Amino acid sequence: MQNAASALLDLLTVMARLRDPDTGCTWDIAQDFASIAPYTIEEAYEVADAIARRDTDDLRDELGDLLLQVVFHARIAEEAHLFDFAQIADGIAAKLRRRHPHIFADDTAEGSGHGNRNWETVKAEERAAKSQTGALDGVALGLPALLRAQKLQKRAARVGFDWPDDRGAAAKLAEEIQEFDAAQTDAERVEEAGDLLFSAVNLLRKRGIDAEEALRAANGKFERRFTDMERRAARDGHTFATLDLDAQEQLWQAAKRDEKDKKIAN
């Protein structure tokens, strides 16, 4: 088995070979930052999915796919004389040291609370160095909408723009539901729908719940129950799509009860 350094060097060599303009892979040569960005996002989600399923073998493979994306971007950058993989690795190592002065430097801060304060202080200094002086500067546009909403809200909260407790956030959500119901035009409905979702994320944030994680879990639950309904219908000699809504609802309730019973049994 190779050590980490030699394995990484091998991967970098493979990518360089794939991108060789004379002897490389036509598809790999044709790619640029923008064309592989969707794959980078997809691989990150597949890592999260493997973690959620607690499949460590799959997690190892998906982390490899995600690492490939980093190496791919690094190779494109190196060819354009922008930066290389070593600079990426050096940069993140330096950032971690800079953001943890209580670990890597002579610092009087003690305990996790001080560590978190240092982290936030250093991040603010880094944003200032990048001329990102606004509280919301640097929240990536490419983030999933729920995750970005949560990050925007956290940033605003750091400078005091936040409800003192979750009651204000809950009242705001109720208000947004009413405004959504009262919307008259398609444009108004879309706008109010966005406000409704944003307010829902804010309430979850105030209650310590990650909106992206919660919705991912709800998606998984719906998928499991729906698949169970289809199996139950097929077992009884029916095609699910041909059943009326009452029959489908009965299957849904059965699938729901079965899932709850299994949770109790475990």
Q: Greater confidence, 183 or 115?
A: 183
**Mean residue pLDDT across the chain:** 89
Average the pLDDT over 203-215 and give the result: 94
pLDDT of residue 211: 93
Please say if the pLDDT value at position 214 is more than 60: yes
> What span, in angstroms and rounded, lies between the C-alpha atoms of 19 and 30?
9
For the domain 145-209, what is the CATH code? 1.10.287.1080
pTM of the complete model beyond 0.85: no
> What span, in angstroms and rounded, lies between the C-alpha atoms of 73 and 147?
24
pLDDT of residue 260: 86
| Amino acid at position 241, single letter | A
| Amino acid at position 15, single letter | M
CATH topology of domain 4-96: Helix Hairpins (1.10.287)
> What span, in angstroms and rounded, lies between the C-alpha atoms of 29 and 19?
5
How far lies 24's CA from each of 10, 14, 16, 20, 202, in Å? Answer: 16, 10, 8, 4, 49
| Domains 4-96 and 145-209 agree in fold | yes
pLDDT of residue 143: 81
Q: Greater confidence, 130 or 10?
A: 10
Selection from 126, 135, 34, 12 nearest residue 78 by Cα: 12
Per residue, the 3-state secondary structure of the chain, as one string, reads CCCHHHHHHHHHHHHHHHCCCCCCCHHHHHCCHHHHHHHHHHHHHHHHHHHHCCCHHHHHHHHHHHHHHHHHHHHHHHHCCCCCHHHHHHHHHHHHHHHCHHHHCCCCCCHHHHHHHHHHHHHHHHHHHCCCCCCCCCCCCCCCHHHHHHHHHHHHHHCCCCCCCHHHHHHHHHHHHHHHHHCCCHHHHHHHHHHHHHHHHHHHHHCCCCHHHHHHHHHHHHHHHHHHHHHHHHHCCCCHHHCCHHHHHHHHHHHHHHHHHHHHHC
Read off the tokens for 98.
């800079």
Please say if the pLDDT value at position 107 is more than 90: no
Tell me the pLDDT tens digit for each residue of 16-57: 999 999 999 999 999 999 999 989 988 998 998 899 889 999
Tell me the domain boundaries of the chain: 4-96, 100-129, 145-209, 212-265
Please say if the pLDDT value at position 120 is more than 70: no
> What span, in angstroms and rounded, lies between the C-alpha atoms of 124 and 12?
34
Read off the tokens for 75.
């190779």
Please say if the pLDDT value at position 78 is more than 60: yes
Q: Give yes or no for a contact between 173 and 206, defined as CB atoms under 8 angstroms apart.
A: no
Please say if the pLDDT value at position 129 is more than 50: yes
Selection from 239, 231, 238, 236 nearest residue 258 by Cα: 231
Please say if the pLDDT value at position 2 is more than 70: yes
Read off the tokens for 142.
């490419």
